[in-house]
Amino acid sequence: MSNYHIKHLEEYYQVYRKSVNAPEQFWEEIAEEHFLWYKKWDKVLDWDFTTPEVRWFEGAKLNITVNCIDRHLTTNASKTAILFEPNAPDEAAQHITYQQLHDRVCQFANVLKAKGITKGDRVCIYLPMIPELAIATLACARIGAIHSVVFAGFSATALATRINDSDCKMVITSDGSYRGAKTIDLKGIVDDALEECPCVSTVLVAQRIHSNVDMKSGRDEWLQPLLDAAATVCVPEVMDAEDPLFILYTSGSTGMPKGMVHTTAGYMVYAAYTFKNVFQYKQNDVYWCTADIGWITGHSYIVYGPLANGATTLMFEGVPSYPDFGRFWSIVEKHKVNQFYTAPTAIRALAKEGLELVEKYDLSSLKVLGSVGEPINEEAWHWYNDNIGKKQSPIVDTWWQTETGGIMITPIPFATPTKPTYATLPFPGVQPALMDEAGKELKDNQVSGRLCIKFPWPSMARTIWGNHQRYKETYFSAFENTYFTGDGALRDEVGYYRITGRVDDVIIVSGHNLGTAPIEDAINEHPAVAESAIVGFPHDIKGNALYGYVILKDVGESRNHDNLRKEINQIITEHVGPIAKLDKIQFTNGLPKTRSGKIMRRILRKIACNETRNLGDTSTLLNPEVVQSIMDNVL
């Protein structure tokens, strides 16, 4: 039996038991048999959740791009590595072979070096979903630079915050991007951001939309001529197992995003191993994940996981609604996609459109369907299963996080019987626990509690960039000696997990993880606003939408409230990005607060969700009278 490729439920249980009983031996075998190392490790695992410190494969030397690219060249040089499907359906798709990927990554890496980037430097990548995004990411890894990809939907302010937090020397961007029928001026956003970023000395600009952009002399350069002049060979930097590979920001409960730091060897091993099993990838399959590389899903399951397995990974530039809501299915037919991985919010949006947009296309190539980013509701699950998978393709509801680096709880297709809304069983190596609020582990089945992970897994984030204390407080302080995920979950009678949602101040909107604090900070920037509080409420397509309670400085504020609402959303767009806009804004005279001054979001959430029959304990409120007035004016 190979531990690397799990095919049956029995095998899963065997492998799982081994991964728990002898984790070091288990991971050592996988690392040994399936990857290329310049030097093997001295020790498989060293850990202490109190400091907290975790090291996997310490002492090993490797380069992840050698594992993702070079080693496939002997047998698969002409196989398509990246299949690029442009925004416009009439623009030709591009098949980038492993050989071409090698050459283009090396050229890009040589350009980075020529611009003075060396091992350990941070490079910010702010690009649309074009091949250069994957290539730039790999080019950084080739030379040991730490990439920080920022999703190209983030605003200038959000971009500047991220660039400054990790002190990036360089930004890689494009003249603009296509998004359905729209174009977006990415370079303009970068220019605005860089007003606040003295650390950036170079901006490389890929040409995509051929717009007229300002090029700041001495700082900005067009990328293509530099690439054309660069050599197609670049000796990979020899990296230590625990050298940082990338930083990726995720929302937290304060205004400052958390720069999660992922390191090289453990991340590689885990991303590759999960990819192989969760998608049951076979040599000639075409795999498609619809996420953006700006999120962890794209890092692990568009770039590193698939390429480490020598897969063909499809990259789609556009949106599901352009030129119409049949686009995803037309791409599945066109490229005979075998594994399709998307988010519940996309499924719900597509399910609202007529079935004729699905039935027009031949989806018979599909073998495995995936879901990620938020709980998938029963209705969406069945629509996906019936109409896309035709009840033949198992749905893998994969639970994980930016912090976990890879999929943690998931069915293994064709092995684990699926159950709608359940992420089912832990992946080998993952030891989940449910805790009650007092910190006691709930060991039985049929319990619900806070989801924790008791033992390290190879791809866990090692720290928050520049703030190890915050890492410790956020993830390792709620419960003793265990990683706290921030999610609630239940375990059913057979041990299947169902993720019930966040238990902290993070709201998942359309699969995007949004912290309340940065949005509230943005609203409070409006000169007319005194204070604000954001909560989530259920939304048919987005899963959750945002509801804002806003106190104005001048109660007699004479301007039309609808204008104010627009201005508030405009400020949010500028500071955070359009994904954080509020669906509803209620102006109020007060917010329910505890005696210590903390806003009682629990109450605001219930009001926004129309669940006011049982508001829970309001006795600790400083100002219980505002609750009634807020309820009377709910939108």
Amino acid at residue number 200: V
Residues 6+ apart with CB under 8 A from 203: 170, 171, 172, 173, 190, 194, 216, 219, 220, 221
Rounded CA-CA distance 233/184 in Å is 34
Nearest-CA neighbor of 243 among 149, 80, 122, 332?
Answer: 122
In the complex, the smallest distance separating the C-beta of residue 172 from ligand WT7, rounded to whole angstroms, is: 22
Nearest to 260 by CA among 173, 162, 193: 162
In angstroms, the Cα distances linking 369 to 57, 107, 399, 418, 561 are 32, 35, 14, 12, 45
- By beta-carbon proximity to ligand WT7, the closer residue of 88 and 503 is 503
- Shortest Cβ distance from residue 101 to ligand WT7 (Å)? 24
Name the residue nearer to ligand WT7 (CB basis): 458 or 486.
486
Among 463, 485, 516, 569, binds ligand WT7 (CB under 6 A): 485
CB of 399 to ligand WT7, least distance (A): 4
Q: Whole-number minimum distance, CB 300 to ligand WT7, in Å?
A: 8
Nearer Cβ to ligand WT7, position 97 or 297?
297
Stretch that binds ligand WT7, among 320-328, 360-368, 384-392, 395-403 (CB under 6 A): 395-403
Question: Can the peptide bond before residue 323 be classed as cis, meaning omega within 30 degrees of 0?
Answer: yes
Residues contacting ligand WT7: total by CB under 6 A: 22
- What does the per-residue mask of binding to ligand WT7 show for 344-383, with x meaning CB under 6 A? ----------------------------xxxx--------
Please list, residue by residue across 283-306, b when 16 or more beta carbons sit within 10 angstroms of its beta carbon and e when fewer do.
Answer: eebbbbbbbbbbbbbbbbbbbbbb
CA distance 243 to 297: 21
Nearer of residues 122 and 512 to ligand WT7, judged by Cβ: 512
Q: Which is nearer to ligand WT7, 423 or 434 (CB)?
A: 423
Is 331 or 514 the residue whose CB approaches ligand WT7 more closely? 514
Q: What is the x/- site pattern for ligand WT7, positions 488-517, by CB under 6 A?
A: -----------x--x-----x----x----
Q: Which range in 185-193, 391-399, 541-549, 598-606 contacts ligand WT7 by CB under 6 A?
A: 391-399
**Straight-line distance from the first to the last Cα atom of the chain, in angstroms, rounded to the nearest whole number:** 59
- Nearest CA to 162 out of 147, 177, 174 is that of 147
- Minimum CB distance to ligand WT7, residue 358 (Å): 23
Q: Give me 269's structure tokens.
A: 């091993």
Q: If we measure between CA atoms, which residue out of 231, 9, 154 comes closest to residue 575?
A: 154
Q: Which is nearer to ligand WT7, 125 or 372 (CB)?
A: 372
Out of 175, 191, 487, 520, name the contact with ligand WT7 by CB under 6 A: 487
What's the CA gap between 66 and 72, in Å, rounded? Answer: 9
**At 615, is the secondary structure helix, strand, or coil?**
coil
* Residue 176 vs 406, nearer CB to ligand WT7: 406
User: Site for ligand WT7 (CB under 6 A): which residue of 19, 155, 402, 459?
Assistant: 402
Query: Which residue's CB is nearer to ligand WT7, number 237 or number 487?
Result: 487
Question: Judged by CB under 6 A, does residue 239 bind ligand WT7?
Answer: no
Nearest to 341 by CA among 315, 318, 369, 373: 369
Least separation, in Å, of the C-beta of 70 and ligand WT7? Answer: 28
| Nearer CB in complex with ligand WT7: 30/302 | 302
**Among the residues of 373-467, which ranges form H helices?**
378-383
Give the DSSP H/E element, type plus range, for residue 500.
Answer: strand 497-502
Smallest separation, CB 44 to ligand WT7 (Å):
25
Shortest approach of ligand WT7 to residue 402 CB, angstroms?
Answer: 3
String of contacts with ligand WT7 for each residue 188-207, x by CB under 6 A: --------------------
- Beta bridge mates, 488: 450, 501
- Restricted to residues 97-156, the positions that interact with ligand WT7 (CB under 6 A) are none
275 residue type, one letter: F
Instruction: Build a one-symbol-per-residue string for 246-285: x at contacts with ligand WT7 by CB under 6 A, - elsewhere.
Output: ----x-----------------------------------
- Binding segment for ligand WT7 (CB under 6 A), chosen from 266-274, 379-387, 400-408, 432-440, is 400-408
Q: Of 250, 148, 254, whose CA–CA distance to 193 is shortest?
A: 148
Decide: 298 and 316 in contact? Cβ < 8 Å: no
Stretch that binds ligand WT7, among 221-229, 484-492, 534-542, 573-581 (CB under 6 A): 484-492
Tell me which of 126, 270, 400, 549 binds ligand WT7, using CB under 6 A. Answer: 400
Site stretch for ligand WT7 (CB under 6 A), options 173-181, 215-223, 348-356, 479-487: 479-487
Q: In whole angstroms, give the CA distance from residue 287 to residue 129.
A: 16
Helices (H) and strands (E) in the chain, counts: 21, 31
- Using CA atoms of 161, 153, 108, 167 in order, give the dihedral in degrees to the nearest 10: 0
Q: Interface residues for ligand WT7 in 280-339 (CB under 6 A)?
A: 295-297
In this chain, which stretch among 65-73, 84-92, 393-401, 466-474 interacts with ligand WT7, using CB under 6 A? 393-401
CA-CA-CA-CA dihedral for 424, 428, 429, 435, to nearest 10: 20
Residues that bind ligand WT7 (CB under 6 A): 250, 295-297, 372-375, 397-402, 423, 485-487, 499, 502, 508, 513
